[in-house]
């Protein structure tokens, strides 16, 4: 059957779906605001001004649409100002006048942090904190992808070309500073695709000394990702939620999926091969991106001597004999679901896509954080299950979405009462050490990672 025929069938089916969906109206925060985060106009503002303006725009929209009742809609009870700071772009040091250039403390290093789809710069906060402690004189900047940070309704109109333009803006902001000699692009999920494309299509790359790609997104996991480019014209939402996460959108629009597909289309082609240093971290159980393709990208399309892939798995990860194999891969496998973080015991099944960039100590997403991802129960309209998932018990577990299929090597199924999608990385300390070593040319990656030969 021709692709055009398949598309025609899809459109016919989806029209009826869309007509049914139109019967119920969406709340204001699931509609475009007309004030979405965007790319700064000309003349381009200084980065600190961009940070201020972006946060103020987010705060105003949240006050107008989410805080009308005077009550916080978010788990954790955050104010609109606190939420705007979490979701908005940021810089460290916050003031340009506080920059220092002591090379023994990281002076001359720059880090551009690029978040993922429906996320916000908050998903880069743990990495930013790690870099700040190691390099107190480095300059760290995180951009906000257009269409993000405000309310989920703004994702209905966002375009991946604007995400590429804001990445260009972020890189240019470092290019203007003569004292910055070593710039690293640090991407999470969709941010990794933007970093890769910038290296081949961006306006300035001469200062870039390496890429750090966490939950590397060169291709979506679902083979039907292309269908979102059609479905978005007849159906707005793939999933709708009550939007209780102060750090990111929970609802997922068809347009978001379509723009991700357009961004990553062809990214596994040889023309996107990376000649410079690369550090990647990927979960074998990732339910969002195609982990197999990410691993193949590393083996086939990264050519620098200074490279490494951290490949996360657990005793429940299904073995895959078709995985690409090459040197410079550090396989990290967790054998027990019973873990402990600084005296707090918890249960952990496998590494979720949403978890790799965050520390277990994070105040929002960490083991004792204010937010628990219990969207599985919200999807089922199971309010009792949702509340029990939020509260948790000794049997509650953190996992990727594939939890129902998990079995150990003896075929024994994983036991639990309620599960939460992972929001933090139990192995964050190793990731942190790897990032700090990678960004220090005097450090050999073999000193912190057991790399395959």
Q: Worst-scoring range by mean pLDDT, 199-208, 258-267, 391-400, 427-436?
A: 199-208
- 238 in a structural domain: yes
Average pLDDT, the chain: 94
Q: Is the per-residue pLDDT at 361 higher than 50?
A: yes
Number of domains in the chain: 1
44-70: per-residue pLDDT in tens? 999 999 999 999 999 999 999 999 999
Q: Tell me what the mean pLDDT of segment 380-401 comes to.
A: 97
Mapping DSSP to helix (H, G, I), strand (E, B) and coil, where does residue 100 land?
Answer: coil
What is residue 79's predicted lDDT score, i.e. its pLDDT?
98
What is the rounded CA–CA span in Å between residue 5 and residue 236? 23
CB 235 within 8 A of CB 18: yes
Q: Is the per-residue pLDDT at 88 higher than 70?
A: yes
- 140 in a structural domain: yes
* Residue position matching structure tokens 């220090």: 440
The CA angle 375-128-272, to the nearest 5 degrees, is 80
What is the rounded CA–CA span in Å between residue 443 and residue 439? 8
- 24 in a structural domain: yes
Q: State both tokens at 442.
A: 């005097």
- 17 in a structural domain: yes
Task: Give every CB contact of residue 424 below 8 A, 6+ residues apart in sequence.
Answer: 355, 358, 359, 360, 362, 365, 366, 367, 369, 398
188-215: per-residue pLDDT in tens? 999 999 999 999 998 878 899 999 999 9
What is residue 25's predicted lDDT score, i.e. its pLDDT?
84
Q: Tell me what the mean pLDDT of segment 297-320 comes to.
A: 96
Q: Tell me what the mean pLDDT of segment 421-448 comes to.
A: 98
- 52 in a structural domain: yes
Terminal Cα distance for the chain, rounded:
45
Pick left, alpha or beta for residue 416 (phi over 0 → left; psi -120 to 50 → alpha; otherwise beta): beta
DSSP string, 73-142: -STT---HHHHHHHHS-EEESSSGGG----GGGTTTEEEEEE--TT--GGGGHHHHHHHHHH-TTSEEEE
- 105 in a structural domain: yes
220-230: per-residue pLDDT in tens? 999 999 999 99
What is the rounded CA–CA span in Å between residue 258 and residue 442? 42
What is residue 5's predicted lDDT score, i.e. its pLDDT?
39
Closest CA to 245 of 425, 377, 374: 374
Q: Between the CA atoms of 188, 237, 243 and 82, what dihedral angle is there, to the nearest 10 degrees?
A: 50
Q: Is the per-residue pLDDT at 10 higher than 60?
A: no
CATH number, domain with residue 55: 3.40.50
- 418 in a structural domain: no
CA distances from 446 to 106, 334, 425 (A): 22, 20, 21
168-179: per-residue pLDDT in tens? 999 999 999 999
116-155: per-residue pLDDT in tens? 999 999 999 999 999 999 999 999 999 999 999 999 999 9
Q: How confident is the model at residue 272 (pLDDT cuts 50, 70, 90)?
A: very high
What is residue 309's predicted lDDT score, i.e. its pLDDT?
99
What is residue 409's predicted lDDT score, i.e. its pLDDT?
85
What is the rounded CA–CA span in Å between residue 152 and residue 450? 41
User: What is the value of pTM for the model shown?
Assistant: 0.94
- 293 in a structural domain: no
What is residue 12's predicted lDDT score, i.e. its pLDDT?
46
Percent above pLDDT 90 for the chain:
92
Closest CA to 288 of 432, 188, 160, 166: 188
Q: How confident is the model at residue 6 (pLDDT cuts 50, 70, 90)?
A: very low
What is residue 410's predicted lDDT score, i.e. its pLDDT?
87
The CA angle 81-84-86, to the nearest 5 degrees, is 110
The domain of 62 spans: 3-214+220-266
């Amino acid at each position: 059957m021709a692709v055009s025929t398949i598309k025609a069938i899809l459109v016919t089916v989806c029209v009826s779906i869309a007509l049914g969906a139109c019967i119920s109206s969406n709340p204001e925060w699931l509609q475009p605001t007309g004030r979405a985060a965007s790319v700064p106009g000309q003349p381009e503002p200084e980065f600190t001004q961009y940070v201020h303006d972006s946060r103020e725009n987010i705060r105003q929209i949240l006050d107008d649409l989410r805080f009308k009742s005077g009550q916080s809609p978010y788990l954790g009870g955050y104010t609109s100002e606190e939420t705007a700071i979490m979701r908005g772009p940021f810089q460290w040091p916050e003031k340009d006048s506080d920059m220092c250039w002591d090379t023994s403390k990281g002076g001359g290093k720059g880090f551009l942090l690029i978040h993922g789809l429906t996320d916000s710069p908050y998903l880069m906060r743990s990495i930013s904190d790690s870099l700040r402690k190691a390099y107190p004189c480095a300059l760290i900047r995180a951009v906000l992808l257009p269409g993000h940070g405000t309310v989920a309704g703004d994702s209905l109109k966002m375009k991946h070309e604007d995400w590429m333009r804001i990445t260009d803006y972020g890189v240019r902001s470092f290019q203007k500073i003569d004292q910055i000699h070593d710039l690293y692009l640090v991407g999470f999920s969709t941010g990794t695709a933007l970093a890769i494309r910038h290296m081949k299509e961006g306006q300035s790359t001469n200062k870039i000394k390496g890429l750090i790609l966490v939950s590397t997104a060169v291709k979506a996991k679902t083979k039907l990702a292309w269908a979102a480019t059609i479905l978005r014209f007849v159906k707005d939402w793939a999933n709708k939620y009550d939007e209780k996460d102060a750090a990111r959108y929970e609802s997922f629009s068809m347009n978001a999926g379509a723009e991700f597909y357009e961004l990553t289309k062809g990214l596994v082609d040889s023309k996107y091969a990376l000649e410079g240093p690369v550090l990647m971290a990927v979960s074998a159980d990732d339910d969002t991106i195609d982990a197999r393709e990410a691993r193949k990208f590393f083996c086939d399309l990264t050519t620098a001597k200074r490279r490494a892939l951290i490949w996360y798995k657990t005793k429940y990860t299904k073995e895959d004999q078709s995985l690409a194999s090459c040197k410079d891969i550090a396989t990290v496998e967790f054998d027990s679901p019973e873990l402990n973080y600084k005296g707090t015991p918890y249960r952990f099944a496998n590494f979720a896509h949403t978890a790799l960039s965050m520390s277990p100590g994070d105040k929002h997403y960490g083991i004792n954080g204010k937010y628990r991802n219990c969207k599985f129960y919200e999807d089922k309209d199971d309010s009792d299950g949702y509340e029990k998932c939020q509260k948790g018990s000794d049997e509650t577990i953190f996992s990727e979405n594939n939890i129902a299929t998990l079995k150990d090597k003896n075929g024994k199924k994983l036991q639990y009462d309620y599960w939460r999608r992972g929001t933090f990385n139990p192995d964050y300390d190793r990731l942190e050490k790897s990032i700090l070593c990678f960004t220090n040319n005097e450090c050999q990656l073999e000193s912190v990672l057991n790399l395959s030969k």
